[in-house]
Structure 1
């Protein structure tokens, strides 16, 4: 039997297949009555969703109860629930816990798996027992909460808004990621190449960073690639501040030294740069000021284009800029610091270093060396 469809709402019960497209999807997580004599809370939740859904498209509601009877295939039920939990844009936890008829043991485990996903809401009646621990983690991770079913449903729909149309593998990209510019930039590039997203699974989210295990049909090779993770973050702007020398190796380059946990030596030498809320040009100016203390006149900043930094792993790009500095600026910058935004844990020290030393002593990674070379090579006369 197929899903139940009416007035923009599609109800998908346990073991039923999800539709092939939608604007939004929610999963009704929480305790299921152990006895047919105890009424389920989910019909009331569906009723609230029908009353409150204002989107123009389809809202899919995953109900982990059978349409007519109780499930008998335990493993198949778990597989269906896991699949649909990952498909949901919001997981609505409503926990009217009752120790005998609805103890919510499984709900406790599901909450532990999803509470930090960024796409859950939590609700429970004020007198429901044994929810204090769950509420603690809701508060710790900024999960919207309510003490009635209507408020819980409203919190989920408020974050969903009108949703976004997704088909096929796109359905596996939750709205919180679908709406991110770094994801859309990556996905647009895949579509422009004729590739098709067949499936995806969010591996992690940390702030503006995300990891996505993808399954892609590669048009140019007519094959499916499904063993890679795409890491995404906002694009960065990087600036090469330099002072020409008699030779390329004599040219001075401004580096910032900063502790970075992934660096094997602890401290990394890098170009002034980072992400921000402005344009790539504005971000470059801001990062130079923050990390070196040098306020640059915008007219001095030149643009050199955009490339990915580590195309085998990360989808983000670096926007490269440069500016020539004076001897006085070089002297003032050398050894200065600490700079950076302390509230973000950023502490940078400026080092003005000859390009030859940067090469010989391997002070920077390959990507940074390439960006510096891109700028300085323009100083070398042709022929």
Structure 2
């Protein structure tokens, strides 16, 4: 197949590569003499596609107007909905000829996926509930089919070339820096992505169920998910003591929903705009009130924080603080960005107490130990 717009009708096999894919969701005429809206959508997509590569259009209407395998049709639609970068919902509902009952279910499944657009003629009945959730989920909406198609193509842009298992990673995640970093590592190891399915998206976090050929072991691994989020910067602020255990370390106490009792103690840190060192300085100021000059910051290694579950890394930094600085911030708070639900309190503790009392989790303990061992 050449590049351009490629139509894939119901029960047909998708091509082996593309730059973008859309699914045309909405009511299908079941009454003779009632025209389908999808040929007009095909024409709009052909006229408006400027990506330069291959745009695949999944059309759930059969090329020969034959619907003789209900289960097969449902399975094909589910598969291709997951393959789509954008699902174009056009709902010209007519309660007599195109009631769109199945469309209601599909909309409920996909409205908050981050990859749908919704359109309907103003006179189409019973779309108020769907439009309510479009607004709630910040879904682009339009009152005309051309505008609905245009909204989907704006989000797709030029797309991105993907083949084989890569096709199952929608542009929404394909363009994510955390995904690309994880995928680059897999490719460098010689592994092959055979398939993927988005499990969840929440804020900047996502979960992807992946199917990977582990080349070195000649086997396929398909029973795990990869969780992605932006990398973090973490900073060990310390005041040397007579011994390693006597070294004072600055922690922040903060309520975290996943904590065993809510409150957790952790290193100042987080994610945000800018490079890792810039983020580190900003997070220290936000969470402790201590403003450091960049020259005081020392860089250490970057590592994954929980390699069995999450692809993100912690960029580790440290800074030795003065006795006066330590006393100024000790017990202070609340700090943090209130608008983001952040409220932190400074706790200063010797490393020995941190170890013995289990004040921090294993990842934070390891980062503290790495810094203190390297700086002694």
Name 1:62's counterpart in structure 2: 58
Counterpart check, 1:282 vs 2:273:
no
CA distance in structure 1 between the partners assigned to 2:46 and 2:374 by the alignment = 63
Superposed counterparts of 1:320-335, under 5 Å:
320-335=316-331
Name 2:82's counterpart in structure 1: 86
Name 1:336's counterpart in structure 2: 332
Q: Choose the corresponding residue for 1:179, options 175, 181, 200.
A: 175
Q: Choose the corresponding residue for 2:362, options 363, 366, 370.
A: 366
CA distance in structure 1 between the partners assigned to 2:2 and 2:123 by the alignment = 34
Name 1:254's counterpart in structure 2: 250
CA distance in structure 2 between the partners assigned to 1:151 and 1:99 by the alignment = 24
Measured after TM superposition, the shift of residue 6 of structure 1 is 7.1
Name 1:97's counterpart in structure 2: 93
Runs of 4+ in 1 over 2 A off after TM superposition: none
1:220 partner SS = helix
Would you say the 8 A contact 2:156–2:171 is kept in 1?
A: yes
Would you say the 8 A contact 2:232–2:276 is kept in 1?
A: yes
Sort the Cα spacing of 1:379 and 1:148 in 2 relative to 1 into closer, same or farther, 3 A.
closer
CA distance in structure 1 between the partners assigned to 2:124 and 2:52 by the alignment = 36
Would you say the 8 A contact 2:2–2:54 is kept in 1?
A: no
Name 1:213's counterpart in structure 2: 209
Counterpart check, 1:23 vs 2:19:
yes
CA distance in structure 1 between the partners assigned to 2:51 and 2:259 by the alignment = 47
1:245 partner SS = coil
Counterpart check, 1:317 vs 2:313:
yes
Superposed counterparts of 1:1-383, under 5 Å:
8-380=4-376
1:370 partner SS = helix
CA distance in structure 2 between the partners assigned to 1:235 and 1:332 by the alignment = 30
CA distance in structure 2 between the partners assigned to 1:87 and 1:296 by the alignment = 47
CA distance in structure 2 between the partners assigned to 1:352 and 1:120 by the alignment = 48
Measured after TM superposition, the shift of residue 68 of structure 1 is 1.0
TM-score w.r.t. length of structure 2:
0.99
CA distance in structure 2 between the partners assigned to 1:154 and 1:308 by the alignment = 40
For residues 120-162 of structure 1, what are the alpha-carbon distances to aligned partners after superposition, in whole Å with 9 as ceiling and x for unaligned? 0000000000000000000001000000000000000000001
CA distance in structure 2 between the partners assigned to 1:201 and 1:189 by the alignment = 19
1:138 partner SS = helix
Measured after TM superposition, the shift of residue 208 of structure 1 is 1.0
CA distance in structure 1 between the partners assigned to 2:152 and 2:375 by the alignment = 57
CA distance in structure 1 between the partners assigned to 2:234 and 2:199 by the alignment = 28
Measured after TM superposition, the shift of residue 198 of structure 1 is 0.1
Measured after TM superposition, the shift of residue 207 of structure 1 is 1.3
TM-score w.r.t. length of structure 1:
0.97
Which structure 2 segments of 5+ residues have no match? Answer: none
CA distance in structure 2 between the partners assigned to 1:38 and 1:79 by the alignment = 26
For residues 42-71 of structure 1, what are the alpha-carbon distances to aligned partners after superposition, in whole Å with 9 as ceiling and x for unaligned? 000000000000111100000001001231
Measured after TM superposition, the shift of residue 276 of structure 1 is 0.8
For residues 352-376 of structure 1, what are the alpha-carbon distances to aligned partners after superposition, in whole Å with 9 as ceiling and x for unaligned? 1111100010000011000000011
Which structure 1 segments of 5+ residues have no match? Answer: none
Measured after TM superposition, the shift of residue 379 of structure 1 is 4.3
CA distance in structure 2 between the partners assigned to 1:264 and 1:34 by the alignment = 55
1:162 partner SS = coil
Would you say the 8 A contact 1:27–1:90 is kept in 2?
A: yes
Would you say the 8 A contact 1:248–1:379 is kept in 2?
A: no
CA distance in structure 1 between the partners assigned to 2:50 and 2:300 by the alignment = 46
Measured after TM superposition, the shift of residue 102 of structure 1 is 0.2
